[in-house]
Copies of this chain bind each other. A is one copy, B any other.
Amino acid sequence: MAVSPIPGTVFGPRTILHHMRAARLHEYTEAMDDALSIDDVDTPQVNQADHVVVDIEGAGWCQTDNHAIEGMWEQYMPQDLPMTLGHENAGTVVETGDGVSTVEEGEQVICHTVMTCGTCRPCRLGEDMHCENIQFPGLSTDGGFADQLLTNERAVIPLPDGVDTTDIAPHADAGITAYHAVKLAARELNPGDHAVVIGVGGLGHIGLQCLNAMSPVTITAVDVKNSALDLADDLGAHHTVNPSEADVADEIDDLTDGNGAHQILDFVGSDETTALAPDVVAAGGDHYVVGYGGHVHEPSQALVNGDFSYQGTLVGQYTELQELVALVERGDVDLRTSRYNLGEINDVAAKLDRGEIEGRAVITP
């Protein structure tokens, strides 16, 4: 556990850290191997009734962290640099505000990615990702690549006994993002239908398992890496296609008697993967854009004639993270992780950038 008392700290009845380590972004850069610096910063303070401080025991590294380093989120989120990254967090509650009643100190929790208000209309509708007062630790406020994280009561989910906080951390974002898109797709799928999972990396290998657990359909996994396709095979994919070796549209056409796949879960979102839709999606189907490396670019007529959608999806609701935790508890979703110290964080950034991380890397401050 990360909490190492720093000399000079005054300890009272509750152990208080005055300083802690945090991996911070000082300026946008393309240089992944030197992107973040490990700074000595103040520990977070509870100053609202609903605040919760969590000792971080696992914080997953996400493609979005690379994108944030490159500055891709600046136009979508208010970002005040330097800022601590890290939005896939789990650990132990160390302090709570006066109004908090659903968790207490010492309880192990996974942190939903965002802090929401609970009183705006989107929160009331259960659409907490659209909260009008949203804060996104790791993208708009300090995140979890640090000893401690400040979040709030509406963000924390107590974990069942026997679940390891480090192991489960990536579900906070990779997991829920994959689960959310799969849940939407599963509603449109019937036995006998065909679904395609594009990209069997951090998100995709979770999405594939969720899809298998939630929908009795035939699944084809697509990835440019054969090792990823081997993983897909292990995790229950019925067919695999490597686009560098075979034409994806032809393969799907063969597998579906020319009807196409009813739902595409695109965990890559590049120019090449989104361009598959007109040839691969069945009439009336959907292409879920979950990853976001490139552009969607098609004639309007292709969407009209194919009667299909490009459906962007953003993370998922708190209640969906509860549901994913239930799947994990059932043993339906097995997360492939590798662990790294906080000091290794720039190596992790660079490795993911080069496509060298299998499954999910987790930082253990």
Q: Is A128 an interface residue (CB 8 A)?
A: yes
Evaluate whether A310 and B296 lie within 8 angstroms (CB atoms) in the complex, with A124-B318, A214-B215, A301-B76 already known.
yes
- Give the complex CA separation of A350 and B327 in angstroms: 44
Evaluate whether A314 and B322 lie within 8 angstroms (CB atoms) in the complex, with A274-B300, A283-B130, A295-B297 already known.
no
Q: Is A121 an interface residue (CB 8 A)?
A: yes
Q: Is A298 an interface residue (CB 8 A)?
A: yes
- Give the complex CA separation of A9 and B313 in angstroms: 57
Could you give, for residues 285-327 of chain A, a 1 whenever the CB lies within 8 Å of some chain B CB and a 0 otherwise? Answer: 0100111111111111111111111111110011100111111
A250 CB contacts on chain B under 8 angstroms: none
Q: Is A99 an interface residue (CB 8 A)?
A: yes
- Would you call B310 and A299 a contact (CB within 8 A)? no
Evaluate whether A301 and B72 lie within 8 angstroms (CB atoms) in the complex, with A214-B216, A216-B213, A309-B312 already known.
yes
- Would you call A309 and B309 a contact (CB within 8 A)? yes
Evaluate whether A307 and B191 lie within 8 angstroms (CB atoms) in the complex, with A119-B102, A121-B319, A300-B296 already known.
no
A283 CB contacts on chain B under 8 angstroms: 122, 127, 129-130, 314
Could you give, for residues 115-134 of chain A, a 1 whenever the CB lies within 8 Å of some chain B CB and a 0 otherwise? Answer: 00011011111111110100
Q: Is A190 an interface residue (CB 8 A)?
A: yes
For A72, A123, A213, A289, which residue has the most chain B Cβ atoms within 10 angstroms? Answer: A289
CB-based nearest B residue for A76: B305
Considering only residues 36-73 of chain A, those with a C-beta below 8 Å from chain B are: 49, 67, 72
Q: Is A269 an interface residue (CB 8 A)?
A: yes
- The oligomer's copy count stands at 4
CB-based nearest B residue for A98: B49
- Would you call B297 and A292 a contact (CB within 8 A)? no
- Give the complex CA separation of A283 and B127 in angstroms: 10
A153 CB contacts on chain B under 8 angstroms: 119
- Would you call A330 and B216 a contact (CB within 8 A)? yes
A282 CB contacts on chain B under 8 angstroms: 130
Shortest CB distance A134–B (Å)? 10
Shortest CB distance A265–B (Å)? 13
Which residue of B76, B192, B311 is within 8 Å of A323 (Cβ)?
Answer: B192
Which residue of B293, B300, B325 is within 8 Å of A269 (Cβ)?
Answer: B300
- Give the complex CA separation of A356 and B177 in angstroms: 48
- Would you call B126 and A124 a contact (CB within 8 A)? yes
- Would you call A118 and B121 a contact (CB within 8 A)? no
Q: List 10 A-B contacts (CB under 8 A).
A: A49-B98, A129-B283, A129-B307, A130-B284, A191-B214, A191-B330, A192-B326, A274-B300, A295-B299, A307-B314
Residues of chain A at the chain B interface (Cβ within 8 Å): 49, 67, 72, 76, 98-99, 101-102, 118-119, 121-130, 132, 153-154, 187, 190-192, 213-216, 259, 269-270, 274, 282-284, 286, 289-314, 317-319, 322-327, 330, 332
